[in-house]
Amino acid sequence: MTGGSSPAVAVHGQQSSSSRSSSNISNISSSTSSSRSIVWFRRDLRVEDNPALAAGVRSGDVVAVFIWAPEEEGPFYPGRVSRWWLSQSLHHLDSSLRSLGTPLITKRSFDTASTLIDIVHSTGASNLFFNHLYDPLSLVRDHRLKESLSAQGVTVRSFNADLLYEPWEVNDENQCPFTTFAPFWNKCLSMPYDPAAPLLPPKRISSGDVSKCPSDTLVFEDELEKASNALLARAWSPGWRNADKALMAFVNGPLIEYSVNRKKADSATTSLLSPHLHFGEVSVRKVFHLVRMKQLVWSNEGNKAGEESVNLFLKSIGLREYSRYLSFNHPCSHERPLLTHLRFFPWVVDENYFKSWRQGRTGYPLVDAGMRELWATGWLHDRIRVVVSSFFVKVLQLPWRWGMKYFWDTLLDADLESDALGWQYISGTLPDGRDFDRIDNPQFEGYKFDPNGEYVRRWLPELARLPTEWIHHPWNAPESVLQAAGIELGSNYPLPIVEISAAKTRLQEALAEMWQLEAASRAVMENGTEEGLGDSSDVPPIDFPQETDMEIDRERELPRINNTAVRRHADQMVPSMTTISSLIRVEEEVSVGAGNVAEDSRPEVPSNINFEADTHREVAQALPQFNPDILRNALHSTAESASTWTERDGGLVPVWSPPPTSSRSEHYPDDDDPGIGNSGYLQRHSQSHQMLNWRQLSPSMRRSWEMESTVQPNAIG
DNA sequence: CCCAAGTTCTG
DNA sequence: AGAACTTGG
């Protein structure tokens, strides 16, 4: 790869006109008129407004490819429902592509890069086109891929298909990335140029020669999962045409009422577009332009509510944009609090709490109803997501990454960037997140979002006969009322596992402890003692910032790559975090209790609901293995009951192991067993996906990390 | 016109 | 929880 064409070009202070051309295809017309291109589909499963596909069609013959290499996702192996969606969507895409002239070639792989190279060779292609992704893994993988394929003489181009604006296009007046949402979104809405107009689907695709490049049959579900998945098809229709229908239905229907309806937990007044958007079945730019046109119309009609509805809906699109923006600028945001002092928060490490939450047996009806709905359907209204996750973090004080992982495994629209943003927001680990010491009371939220208790009754049949007056706080109901409703608290419906008032006290204590640890760590930092402090030395010391300072990611300290070069086409920009942060993960939390999950993860799904009880297998596969012994060893409080374990998360050693073949694994994840399912990936990427404890690092490594993570750029904020 | 109480919103 | 905003006396 020659110096001049580095694909990773930092563009800062560099402008709109060139950025703009990057997101449409006008700059590609100079490509030779009949070369053969691989169009690599990922989470852009559509033929409409797909810049990579359009580029391929323009430059000649097209080989359309999808590669299934889930092991590369490490702990974020897609959950069952998410895999179901993907399989449906791929079928849909394949038939669309076929009708245009070429099939979708599907490949099973354990190494995307080498599979792509094989495909290039077997098809004689000279170009590779794909659309950008912004999760940490893809940023690094795609960057490397670009380098290695370019070195082999393949022309690699990548495009923006997922965002209104690329992350590097949206900066504040000092050309620095925003650190809060509101100004970010205002800027997006007032950019000097509009998001690119959507491209039409190609009329016809000239197929490359795929005779030497047969498809693999991809398996996304096993027999047991099939039964559960069959029910999903009743409620959802994956695929880009269906996505388009859903969009139209929403825009011409519920959108206008969005601002008034959004409060109700129950109503189907949301767009239901998120899974479609996650897989790129519909283009956000199309959504944006369409919705904006509606707004113009309503605005002219003086329909204030309609106008406001569009603003609110667009804001949720904006949050999705922001999640990518955040992930791009802070590639660790899916696993580390962005507000550094929160790393010292003493999370409650209690698997029983976690289990009660998963099963919808916390004793708070709104929370429990939400968790049962999530399990049964893979779906939750955004409001309820906030309720259950806020309960998780603030009342149970479990580490948010556990909750995020569970969402990842169970949500139909599981999306790493969006979910990381959501959990960080709820956890108060963002500069503009909720106040950390704010505890929402599920009882009051219940009457707010579900005033008549219908939602609760639907998902908690055991409470169905309880009058509305008590539906959100059965623990206060008179015995006679409970009896009449057939409820025996503590037996067929639990008492609250944690009282709100107790949670408040505990939260205050935990916060005090957090500040103490933080201060101690700072002191250690200052006098250079390394080992004095036990656990708190596990967390990178920080130069204590103002409340709103974000974590300083490594890329800010490292020299920018090639600041001066002009970015060509739409080269994928890669934050320069690849070296250190992917080598080392300072882990705050242990992995979720998969052994536990595997054994007994199934909440009792209400029997009047038409969803079959699920099997635990997919959860077991999706979750990283966590051996409780490791946890116990790491904690000193063995004598106490599980529910009183609290320990700074940094003191625990998180280790991910390959998915088990059996549902139960006694196997210590950090020994050298290469394991089964994940072995390919873990072996090849041992540095980037081995989870290391801070203590395990060599002192010199540690020092360099500490130095880097404490440098304060003044540019932020 | 003011004040208090109530309501809504917060990414 | 707290600010900002609305409502009604």
Strand order in the sheet with A35-41: A104-108, A60-68, A35-41, A127-131, A155-159
If you search the block for the tokens 């904020």, which residue do you land on? A717
Q: Which residues contact residue A637 at a Cβ distance below 8 angstroms, ignoring those fewer than 6 apart?
A: A644, A645, A646, A647
Question: Of A561, A659, A552, A689, whose CA–CA distance to A141 is shortest?
Answer: A689
Residue A421 known to bind ligand: no
**Sign (positive/negative) of CA torsion A331, A333, A335, A338?**
positive
Residue A129 known to bind ligand: no
Protein footprint on strand C: which nucleotides are under 7 Å from a CB? Answer: 1
Give the pLDDT score at A365.
96
Q: How far is the CA of A683 from the C1' of C9 (A)?
A: 75
Per-residue pLDDT averaged across A406-428, rounded?
95
Which of the residue ranges A202-211, A354-363, A506-515 would you say has the lowest mean pLDDT? A506-515
Find the nucleotide nearest A181 (Cα to C1′): B11
d(CA A707, CA A701): 10
- Residue A396 beta carbon within 7 A of nucleic strand B: no
Residue A414 known to bind ligand: yes
Q: How far is the CA of A263 from the C1' of B7 (A)?
A: 14
Give the pLDDT score at A341.
84
Give the pLDDT score at A410.
96
d(CA A624, CA A595): 9
Question: Of A352, A394, A390, A393, whose CA–CA distance to A370 is shortest?
Answer: A390
**Sign (positive/negative) of CA torsion A670, A626, A422, A189?**
positive
Per-residue pLDDT averaged across A469-492, rounded?
95
Strands A127-131 and A155-159: parallel
Per-residue pLDDT averaged across A375-395, rounded?
93
Question: Of A17, A51, A64, A90, whose CA–CA distance to A284 is shortest?
Answer: A51
- DSSP H stretches of helix in A253-399: 258-261, 274-278, 284-300, 304-329, 351-359, 365-377, 382-390
Q: How far is CA A257 from CA A250, A300, A383, A451, A712, in A?
A: 10, 17, 16, 19, 46
Find the nucleotide nearest A423 (Cα to C1′): B11
d(CA A555, CA A558): 5
**pLDDT: which is higher, A517 or A84:** A84
Give the pLDDT score at A113.
94
Percentage of chain A surpassing pLDDT 90?
56
Per-residue pLDDT averaged across A106-115, rounded?
96
The phi, psi pair for A537, rounded to 5°, reads -75, -5
Question: Of A364, A350, A369, A337, whose CA–CA distance to A433 is shortest?
Answer: A337
d(CA A274, CA A282): 10
Find the nucleotide nearest A433 (Cα to C1′): B11
Q: Cβ–Cβ contacts within 10 Å for residue A476, how many?
A: 10
Question: Of A156, A243, A163, whose CA–CA distance to A196 is shortest?
Answer: A163
Residue A313 known to bind ligand: yes
Q: How far is the CA of A376 from the C1' of B9 (A)?
A: 31
Q: How far is the CA of A271 from the C1' of B9 (A)?
A: 22
Q: How far is CA A526 from the centre of its chain?
A: 36
Strands A127-131 and A104-108: unpaired
Chain A 258-317 residues whose Cβ is under 7 Å from strand B: 263, 315-316
Residue A644 known to bind ligand: no
Q: How far is CA A163 from CA A25, A159, A320, A638, A694, in A?
A: 15, 10, 9, 49, 36
- Residue A223 beta carbon within 7 A of nucleic strand C: no
Chain A 169-208 residues whose Cβ is under 7 Å from strand B: 180-182
Q: How far is the CA of A185 from the C1' of C8 (A)?
A: 37
DSSP tally for chain A: helices H, then strands E: 31, 5
Residue A484 known to bind ligand: no
d(CA A115, CA A122): 10
Find the nucleotide nearest A424 (Cα to C1′): B11
Q: How far is the CA of A295 from the C1' of C1 (A)?
A: 34
Which secondary-structure segment (H or E) carries A106? strand A104-108
Q: How far is CA A516 from CA A341, A506, A521, A537, A541, in A?
A: 10, 15, 8, 13, 13
**pLDDT: which is higher, A637 or A283:** A283
Q: How far is the CA of A302 from the C1' of C9 (A)?
A: 32
pLDDT in tens, A566-618: 333 334 455 433 222 333 333 333 333 333 333 333 332 222 222 222 222 22
The token pair at A504 is 């408040």
d(CA A314, CA A43): 21
Q: Cβ–Cβ contacts within 10 Å for residue A460, how many?
A: 23
Q: Which residues contact residue A519 at a Cβ distance below 8 angstroms, ignoring those fewer than 6 apart?
A: none
Q: How far is the CA of A435 from the C1' of B4 (A)?
A: 27
Residue A382 known to bind ligand: no
- Residue A439 beta carbon within 7 A of nucleic strand B: no
**Sign (positive/negative) of CA torsion A632, A633, A634, A635?**
positive
Find the nucleotide nearest A385 (Cα to C1′): B11
d(CA A601, CA A596): 7
Give the pLDDT score at A266.
66
The token pair at A387 is 């309720």
pLDDT above 90 for A31: no
Give the pLDDT score at A84.
97
- Residue A435 beta carbon within 7 A of nucleic strand C: yes
Collapsed DSSP state (helix, strand, coil) of residue A624: coil
Residue A544 known to bind ligand: no
Q: How far is the CA of A177 from the C1' of B7 (A)?
A: 35
Find the nucleotide nearest A383 (Cα to C1′): B11
Q: Cβ–Cβ contacts within 10 Å for residue A565, how many?
A: 17
Q: How far is the CA of A85 from the C1' of B4 (A)?
A: 54
- Residue A438 beta carbon within 7 A of nucleic strand C: yes
**pLDDT: which is higher, A710 or A57:** A57
Q: How far is CA A17 from the centre of its chain?
A: 31
- Residue A173 beta carbon within 7 A of nucleic strand C: no
Protein footprint on strand B: which nucleotides are under 7 Å from a CB? Answer: 9, 11
pLDDT above 80 for A235: yes
- DSSP H stretches of helix in A76-231: 80-100, 112-123, 136-151, 181-189, 223-230
Most confident listed range (A225-229, A237-241, A655-659) = A237-241
Residue A415 known to bind ligand: yes
pLDDT in tens, A438-467: 899 999 999 888 888 999 999 999 999 999
Q: Is residue A275 within 8 Å of A238, Cβ to Cβ?
A: yes
pLDDT in tens, A257-307: 888 877 777 656 889 999 999 999 999 999 999 999 999 999 999 888 899
- Residue A422 beta carbon within 7 A of nucleic strand B: yes
Give the pLDDT score at A261.
79
Q: What residue ranges in A356-479 does DSSP mark as E strands?
A: none
pLDDT above 50 for A420: yes
Chain A 439-458 residues whose Cβ is under 7 Å from strand C: 439
Q: How far is the CA of A17 from the C1' of C4 (A)?
A: 40
Find the nucleotide nearest A431 (Cα to C1′): B11
Collapsed DSSP state (helix, strand, coil) of residue A493: strand
DSSP string, A213-272: SPPPPP----HHHHHHHHTHHHH---SHHHHHHHHHHHHHTGGGGHHHHTT-SS-S-S--
Residue A271 known to bind ligand: yes
Q: How far is the CA of A309 from the C1' of C6 (A)?
A: 20
Find the nucleotide nearest A180 (Cα to C1′): B11
pLDDT in tens, A656-695: 222 222 222 222 222 222 222 222 211 222 222 222 222 2
DSSP string, A35-78: EEEEEEESS---STT-HHHHHHHHHEEEEEEEEE-GGGGGGG--
